[in-house]
């Protein structure tokens, strides 16, 4: 498999090159040159396959022989060593719980996969690699956990000051070792812009490799397709509708890659909070990014989603083609809190604010289309990561998993900086040049 750029289809690189570079020249994003084709026996056996087996068979189509079979099997077993259960919430509505990994968020899958791929390539060539990543909440903690103490790799996380939950911030800032947190005076879009500017402009002088672990990196995106196959395996239906709470739109792009490989899903829904750039695009046909606004579902506070460029390429730059596969709706904080309260009171199921947006989205689609298809929404983070919001909505405090308890008593360590690329450039130069 070769990888092309969203801004230059003539550029073709290997999987290893795409992972290491993170961002393509001219700020393009890497995409598989072709959609994968899974053999008939894969589909015949899907309902009986484990999550690591799905990861191996799907991932191998993207990685090819760049990681030997036995090494890749081991990699998938280590990455996917926790369950992602499909839980019935009510009627024909199911929650795909993606929060059972070490940092209690869906990004554990992508971050751990990328960490092991990059670690494999770096150790083989004895290279120094620096991961530069922007986070609106959960990406940073998942990346930090995935890369903690990986030889030859340092991680620098940029996060918006005061705009992540207390637990999220603790997960970002208490690791030490090869993990550094930069607390930026700005919003997530500012952090993301700083990262992209560094990739385009910072001269490493050949002393190290600079790459990203955001969903702009193809090694984050590919494994996010795995759990869509696993959801279909569990629901045992060929016509389900899947709703994805969406911020940077990497998660749903993984779902569309699965769909293009033949995954039997009827339709996708991208549910957003007040940051409604994509719903507005589908209404107007014109993509108009705008500054992000702060909401209670903070990991989705993105006004210019990076992965829109990938989806735009997939759907041939046509809003009509986009909308035929993906519907998109925006919901307010008030609607989100009400949904959290109602679902807990009536069904005893505790939603986090992102999952609540997802449930609103799947219910709206099924209602508007008078569909009786099974509806699946992604519950992307454990409710305990948003203690204050959840307690306020359901009047009950979620129980903290052990993975979250451990970081709360550790001291926060971060470097505060302005939204200024020169400051980031100085930090990188002082550390690595």
Would you please indicate which residues are annotated as catalytic (active-site) residues? 107
How far is residue 145 from each of residues 3, 157, 165, 177, measured CA to CA in Å?
Answer: 27, 12, 17, 11
Residue 239: φ, ψ to 5°: -135, 30
Between CA 51 and CA 53 the distance in angstroms is 5
Which residues is 376 bridged to in the sheet? 94, 242
Please tell me the distance from the alpha carbon of residue 3 to that of residue 413, in angstroms, as a whole number: 38
For 358, the 3-state DSSP assignment is helix
Residue whose C-alpha is closest to residue 155's, from 173, 135, 129? 129
Q: Which residues of 322-341 are buried (b: 16+ CB within 10 A; e: fewer)?
A: beebbbbbbbebeebbebbb
Q: Which two tokens stand for residue 350?
A: 């505790």
Dig out the tokens for 16 from the structure.
Answer: 């290893």
Structural tokens at position 200: 């385009």
CA distance 100 to 229: 17
* DSSP summary character for residue 46: G
Chain position carrying tokens 């390539």 = 121
Asked if residue 115 lies in contact with residue 195, where contact means CB atoms within 8 angstroms, the answer is no
Nearest-angstrom CA–CA distance, 346 and 142: 32
Identify the CA nearest to 271 among candidates 137, 375, 141, 383: 375
The token pair that represents 404 in the structure block: 């979250």
Q: Are 184 and 417 in contact (CB under 8 A)?
A: yes
CB-hemisphere CA count at 13 Å for 254?
31
> Which residues are within 8 A (CB) of 193 and not within 5 positions of it... i.e. 6 or more apart?
none
Measuring CA to CA, which residue among 405, 403, 428 is closest to residue 415? Answer: 428
CA distance 200 to 194: 10
Euclidean distance between CA atoms 309 and 249, whole angstroms: 10
């Amino acid at each position: 498999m070769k990888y092309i750029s969203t801004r230059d289809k003539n550029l073709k690189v290997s999987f290893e090159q795409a992972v290491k570079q993170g961002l393509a020249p001219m700020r393009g994003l890497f995409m598989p040159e072709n959609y994968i084709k899974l053999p008939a026996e894969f589909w015949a056996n899907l309902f009986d396959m484990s999550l690591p087996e799905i990861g191996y068979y799907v991932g191998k189509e993207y990685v090819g022989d760049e990681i030997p079979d036995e090494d890749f099997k081991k990699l998938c077993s280590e990455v996917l060593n926790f369950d992602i259960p499909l839980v019935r919430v009510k009627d024909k509505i199911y929650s795909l719980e993606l929060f059972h990994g070490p940092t209690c968020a869906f990004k554990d899958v992508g971050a751990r996969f990328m960490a092991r791929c990059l670690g494999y390539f770096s150790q083989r060539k004895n290279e120094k690699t620096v991961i530069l990543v922007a986070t609106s909440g959960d990406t940073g903690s998942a990346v930090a956990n995935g890369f903690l103490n990986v030889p030859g790799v340092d991680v620098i996380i940029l996060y918006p000051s005061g705009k992540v939950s207390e637990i999220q911030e603790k997960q970002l800032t208490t690791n030490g070792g090869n993990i550094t947190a930069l607390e930026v005076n700005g919003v997530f879009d500012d952090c993301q812009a700083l990262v992209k500017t560094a990739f385009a402009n910072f001269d490493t002088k050949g002393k190290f490799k600079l790459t990203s672990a955001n969903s702009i990196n193809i090694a984050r995106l590919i494994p996010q397709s795995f759990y869509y196959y696993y959801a279909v395996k569990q629901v045992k239906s060929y016509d389900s509708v899947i709703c994805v709470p969406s911020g940077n739109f990497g998660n749903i792009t993984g779902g569309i890659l699965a769909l293009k490989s033949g995954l039997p899903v009827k339709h996708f829904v991208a549910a957003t909070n007040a940051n409604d750039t994509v719903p507005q695009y589908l209404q107007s046909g014109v993509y108009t990014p705008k500054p992000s606004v702060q909401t209670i579902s903070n990991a989705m506070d993105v006004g210019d989603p990076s992965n829109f460029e990938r989806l735009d390429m997939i759907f041939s730059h046509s809003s009509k083609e986009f909308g035929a596969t993906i519907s998109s709706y925006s919901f307010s904080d008030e609607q989100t809190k009400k949904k959290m309260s109602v679902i807990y009171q009536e069904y005893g199921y505790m939603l986090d604010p992102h999952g609540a947006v997802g449930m609103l989205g799947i219910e709206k689609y099924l209602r508007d289309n008078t569909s009786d298809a099974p509806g699946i929404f992604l519950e992307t983070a454990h409710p305990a990561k948003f203690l204050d919001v959840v307690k306020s909505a359901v009047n009950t405090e979620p129980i903290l998993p052990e993975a979250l308890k451990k970081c709360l008593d550790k001291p926060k360590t971060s470097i505060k900086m302005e939204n200024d690329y020169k400051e980031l450039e100085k930090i990188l130069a002082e550390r690595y040049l």
